[in-house]
Amino acid sequence: MRFSLIVLFSYFLALNSFSQTNVFKISGVVRDANTQETLPFANVFLANTTYGTVTNEVGEFNLTIERPGTYDLIVKFVGFETYARSIQLLTPEDIGFEINLIPESVNLGSVEVVAKKDAEWKSRLEQFKRLFLGESANAKKCKILNEEAIDFIYDEQSNSLEAFSREPLIIENKALGYKLTYLLEEFVVYYRQSYTRFYGFPVFEPMEGGKRKQANWDEARLEALNGSVEHFFKALYHNELDEIGYEVQMAKDIKGFGRVTDGRPVDLFAMLEPGPTPISKKLNFEGYVYITYVNELESPEFMDWKNPFSSGKKSSVPKKYRKPQQSWISMVSEEEPIVFEQNGYVINPIAFYSNGYWGFEKIADIVPTNYEVPSNH
């Protein structure tokens, strides 16, 4: 995959010059890198947002963005490698791109491709949906509309299962009122290590509905946002952890499922350093950061998820016995700090491991990074 960085700003611009009224315009043309023919109807979007479009009949596209920040510009056309380019929009201007897509080549080697539609494929698919969409209440209202596009490769030597799709996955999330187009770049289950890793690029399209349905979606989206990774890092950026409802501890170790060893309160904001751009900060630490969000309780689905002896039915534990949502994070490497922006967007999410409630929440529980809380909330 081609991945590069464009910096579109001036370091001499004062921070207070950034505002929500800034408008950034991106345009360009998409071509086949080999033939230089233009590619009509290619997907072009900013990952994890609602900003998306398709190229016209001559391969051209236009996007208008209303917020400064770091974005992943993604271009996908079936049969070609995904084009991903990190862009930083800090000074309003019109930007043009000449994008050349590289034809895709796949070498499966000697691994076994799981045949579609048989019992094994269906079993793999159910496992994929649990690990990808999640097992929350929102996940129960999610559906992959083109699940037949998903294939599986089992590698006996490493005892791992890889899922891939030749086309973007179309996901209907009736819980949050979004239709997602998701480019699945990697999905691997390592059975020996009991570990799953996946990443990709989603773009969100709000679904249409009546006033009552929209009101329900507003409530569900706000609930999904509150207590999330983005919610936490936005509060940390603005030094608002306490007032928003976060309790933070540093710990040397965490035993079992969330039992803190030698936990102590910490001023995480005091540990922040300036980031690589005027609107970013970075965080690095040793051990674990243990995070409690006191304003929301663990869901019944989470209690079943963390209980290996669960019957699979909805937990009957009374609400008064449920604890506040607890998560903990640790660094992947001391060499790469966590970098995040004023809206809570984490530029390098693979820089840290997340467990607990954040490990439970998956694709069904995310909202776009440009989501705005309704004015009546």
Those residues with Cβ within 8 angstroms of residue 361's Cβ, 6 or more apart along the chain or in another chain: 134, 136, 228
What per-residue confidence (pLDDT) applies to 346? 96
What per-residue confidence (pLDDT) applies to 64? 96
Spans of all domains in the chain: 2-101, 112-206, 229-360
Q: Would you state the torsion angle of the CA atoms of residues 354, 356, 362, 367, taken in this order, to the nearest 10 degrees?
A: -80
d(CA 211, CA 264): 46
Residue range 30-74, pLDDT digits in tens: 999 999 999 999 999 999 999 999 999 999 999 999 989 999 999
DSSP secondary structure letter of residue 344: S
> Which is it for strands 2-8 and 83-89: parallel, antiparallel or unpaired?
parallel
Positions of the chain with pLDDT lower than 50, given as ranges:
1-20, 110
Residue range 206-248, pLDDT digits in tens: 999 999 999 999 999 999 999 999 999 999 999 999 999 999 9
d(CA 315, CA 330): 29
Residue 100: both structure tokens together: 């050349």
Residue 57: both structure tokens together: 């009949």
The closest of 80, 350, 368, 86 to 221, measured between CA atoms, is 368
Residue 68: both structure tokens together: 């400064």
Q: Which residues pair with 153 in a beta bridge?
A: 113, 162
Three-class secondary structure of residue 185 per DSSP: strand
What per-residue confidence (pLDDT) applies to 14? 35
Determine the topology of domain 2-101 in CATH.
Answer: Immunoglobulin-like (2.60.40)
**pTM (2 d.p.):** 0.86
d(CA 158, CA 110): 13
Q: Please state, in angstroms and as integers, the Cα–Cα distance from residue 136 to each residue in 103, 175, 300, following that order.
A: 38, 11, 9
Q: Between vectors from CA 66 to CA 344 and to CA 21, what angle results, nearest 5°?
A: 100
DSSP secondary structure letter of residue 357: H
d(CA 176, CA 140): 11
Contact 167, 147 (CB under 8 A): no
Residue 311: both structure tokens together: 């019957």
Three-class secondary structure of residue 91 per DSSP: coil
